[in-house]
Chains A and B, each alone.
Chain A
Amino acid sequence: MQQPPKLPLKILRFFCAEHRLEEIEGDLFEEFQDQVQAYGYRKARRLYYWTVIRSFRSYLFDYQSNSTHPLSFITMIRHYLKTSLRGMLKHKSFTAINILGLSLGLAYFMILSLFITDVILKDNFIPNRAKIYRLEVLKPLDFTDKYEARTHPDFAVILNRNYPQIENYLRINALNENMTITVKRGDKKEFYKQRGLEADTSFFSFFPFQLIDGNQKEVLSEPHSIIVTESMAAKLFGEEDPIGKIVYLPIREGANYTVTGVLKDIKENSSIEFDYLVPNYSPYDIASGAYSPSANYLMLTSGTDIKQLITGFNNTIKEAGAAKRLQNLNYRLTEFEEVKFDTEATDDVVQTMSKSTVILFTIVAFLILILALFNYMNLTAARALQKGQEAGIRKIIGAGRGSFIFQFLTESLIFCTISMLVSLLVLEVSLPYFESILGNPLHFDYKSSLPFFLVYFGLIILLALLSALYPALVVSRFRFSEFLKGKAMSSTKGNMLRKGLVVFQFSISIILTLGTVMVQKQLRYIQNETLTYNPEQILIVERSISSNLDDFKKSLKDIPEISISSLTSSPPGGENLYASGPIAGLDIRGYYHQVDGDYINMLKLEITEGESFDGNSTSDIDQGVIINETLANIIRSKNPMNLEDPLSGKYSFLAIPTKIRGVVKDFHLGSFHNEIQPMALFYHDFAGSSGARVMIKVSTTDISETLNKIETKWNEFIPNSKFGVEFMDAKFDQLYTAETRLANIFNLFTGVALFISCLGLLGLIGFITESKTKEVGIRKVMGASVGQILFLFTGQVYKLILLACLVGVPAAYWLINRWLDNFAYKTNFSFGLALLVMVSMFALTSLTIIIKSVKAATHNPVDALRSE
């Protein structure tokens, strides 16, 4: 008699349930014998293999409950799945709270992670990024301690000539975004605003942006050529072929530019974004010292020793015949990959985000995740104890710690998987909203990224493991008799940890809420409270050059809605400057601004000493200058001329000895991040051809009507220049976009954190009320009122919240003060607000508790006591 092959039989014997093995093996053996006779050994053998393979069906794995088969746990999993699902369906509100909390936490964690990943992966599409460096200088003569990213444009050329390690250079500059681009269409003119860069031809060997039309080497060789992106071409020229079209740009005295190339739209995750590109223009001689600065990027051969390279720079520049103020500088080469994090030395070309913001995001992301995780663990553990009797019976039957862990793991996995799906939905829905808050779109395409889903899945597994462990340990610690007596639910075991988790949750919520409130307070402070004027009422007309500026200003008096107007180089709300330079004898850099006679009145600035400009004199220098308190204090303390009254001397602001007419109280021209600089206001009558911005104070509700009137006057007096107007508060807002975004993000995440915490509380209260059903029943029978019973529940929670306040408020105090240190001018941490936050926290928790426990308190005690 032929024997069937051994291997398939072994496999069958391993997998098959014990009670089925004998008959199946026998059947197979018999069939094999029949087939040997019918078809011969070889075919029978093949058929035998085939039948064994086909036998892998459910009946093969039908292990019995007393089975010792190594795979019999499959039956247990089936059992766990069934009991878990039943439990979930039975306690629907608990399940909903759990899944909602977990999926919200997960979704918002993932959103933040995606944005952080996006920042980290920024510019990864640039193949040469590791070789690119930005040249930055520190000028000791200017008395600043900040490196400047924009330097003399000849530096790069000279260095490239002298050092073989420098393969290539690129000088690049951002053009004013508000500049008006004019396109003639027939006899009509159309105006556009786009982001532009000026750059060397080497731009394309530094950055891999792709041209659709035009040759990389030639497109920027003509001085009056312009490259536009696809979308800008579509905006400006519609369907027509953009090549050869003429565009007027008001840069360098204004000129017509011919489109020589079309660029593919920048879809990559790039820190450099622009709509058009014009060739670099640098007629400045290194010997003259006067120049308009430009960002200098260098491409180094790999493996260059940066420190050693820099040491020679000063000598090389000097030998090239540099002007005196360009000698003896401190140089620094910053890696391109670091440039995007440098918010101090910016060149306006590369968009920056400070590392501390990235870190802050990371912290918030993990806080949210931890919050959600704790929530889940807490609820699950509470739930597990509630199922005490079930666990007791399991223990009696012989369930060990391992099997408890396994049971909870199954349950966690179900919860986590559902939460994962829900969170993906939340992610998808809230991403656009989040993108709009943050102000930049997400480049990372997570939907088609395998690593993203792997990480996501890994995270889910990890969460499931973590959250299963705690309840399993809590449950398995009890003896089964305790369970059966119903002691577990009211036991204090594990209570400390559970309460600790709630305290932790609410501490985080308090920190986040206080953070939100304080960020808002600081924003309000810097935007409004320190200003002596109302920026919402002041219009600023873009800088223009004309000899009619003064006439235009005078004509504005005809418009009744305008109370006052002023011509100046420097309206508040931006980094505006007339000139700056070192002041001889004082070792500081002074900042100078041109103002007319109305400037001080209009901004309601306070003259503390001396007098204001009278506005009658025409001579600029004879009027003297008005300095701010900061400068006055410096002059007083240094007193370089040893005068009895240091302010009575003449100081060479702008190289001409000038007397000081008065002192004005310090006021902000720029961002509140910066200290107020020592500044001097120069009187100017703007009678001849001069450049200025116009500030116009309007007091009316009908803004558009007034604007029309102003524009009519403008076109009458200054027809050759565009009328670009903006409210001052909008300018201020632009200065604080980073803070506004931060505030918005804080709002959103605080909302989420509070919501999750309240969900946790809701679940916990639900657990407490349920475990105290009998106690409440007895109390009611004895005559307790609804209020007393509510107090029973709230009392416990209030203690926890109070503890959370004690932890959260000092922590918030510390953190917020660190953030406020970023500002030169800041509000104080307000304990009144902290109190308010605490009170609202109590109100919120009370509301949560009442929602959940009123039912327990008003229930008929008979229902609670009847069942035993």
Chain B
Amino acid sequence: MKGTFLGEFEEVVLLSTCVLDKNAYANLVKEEVEKHTERNINLSAIHSSLYRLEKKGFLSSELGEASKKRGGKRKRLFKPTPYGLQAVQQIKEIRESLWNNMPQTLFQNS
């Protein structure tokens, strides 16, 4: 399935958006991703992923309210679409089924 393909970084961004639940906009997503991955990420990378995820149909967006902290500019709030939710779930299932089949001996010695 071509449409459901998600890159590693995209997956993290998508999950972060889900976690933030209706409050997700670029700056928050960035903080969230940085917190969980302990990586330093440029804001433009988050923008790029968000817009791409939106184009692929995993996310939908609407404009939020403006605030003084944002220099009077409105923010774009992202939320996962049903398709997006289905995709993260599917990924999780694939991973879990793989983990369930993992041979027990593999991690014992290391």
Contact = CB atoms under 8 A, between A and B. Distances in A.
Interface of A: 1, 20, 22-31, 33-34, 50-51, 54-55, 57-59, 62
A22 B43 contact: no
A28 B43 contact: yes
B36 interface: no
Interface in B57-85: 63, 66, 68-71, 73-76
Given A23-B76, A59-B48, A30 B70 contact: yes
B13 interface: no
A51 B42 contact: yes
A26 B70 contact: yes
B43 A51 contact: yes
6 contacts: A22-B63, A22-B73, A29-B69, A31-B27, A54-B42, A57-B44
Contact of A27 (B43, B51, B66): B43
Contact of A59 (B51, B70, B75): B51
B65 to A, nearest CB: 11
A29 B47 contact: no
Given A30-B69, A54-B45, A59-B47, 10 more contacts: A23-B73, A24-B47, A26-B70, A27-B26, A27-B70, A27-B75, A29-B70, A33-B69, A57-B47, A57-B48
Nearest to B74: A22
B59 to A, nearest CB: 13
Q: Taking chain B's interface residues, is the majority helix, strand, or loop, or is none over half, making it mixed?
A: helix
Contacts of B71: 25-26, 29-30
A202 B45 CA distance: 73
Contacts of A58: 48
**Top 8 A-B residue pairs of the complex, sorted by shortest distance between their CB atoms:** A26-B73, A29-B71, A26-B70, A23-B76, A54-B44, A55-B44, A59-B51, A27-B26
The bracket for how many chain B residues form the interface is 20 to 34
B74 to A, nearest CB: 6
B76 to A, nearest CB: 4
A30 B47 CA distance: 14
Interface of B: 25-27, 30, 42-45, 47-48, 51-52, 63, 66, 68-71, 73-76
Nearest to A4: B71
A37 to B, nearest CB: 11
A461 to B, nearest CB: 34
Contacts of B47: 24, 27, 55, 57, 59
A31 B43 contact: yes
A55 B26 CA distance: 13
A59 B68 CA distance: 26
A96 B48 CA distance: 40
A24 B68 CA distance: 15
Contacts of A1: 68
Nearest to A22: B73
Nearest to B51: A59
A674 to B, nearest CB: 79
A34 B26 CA distance: 14
Contacts of A24: 47
A31 B73 CA distance: 13
A499 to B, nearest CB: 50
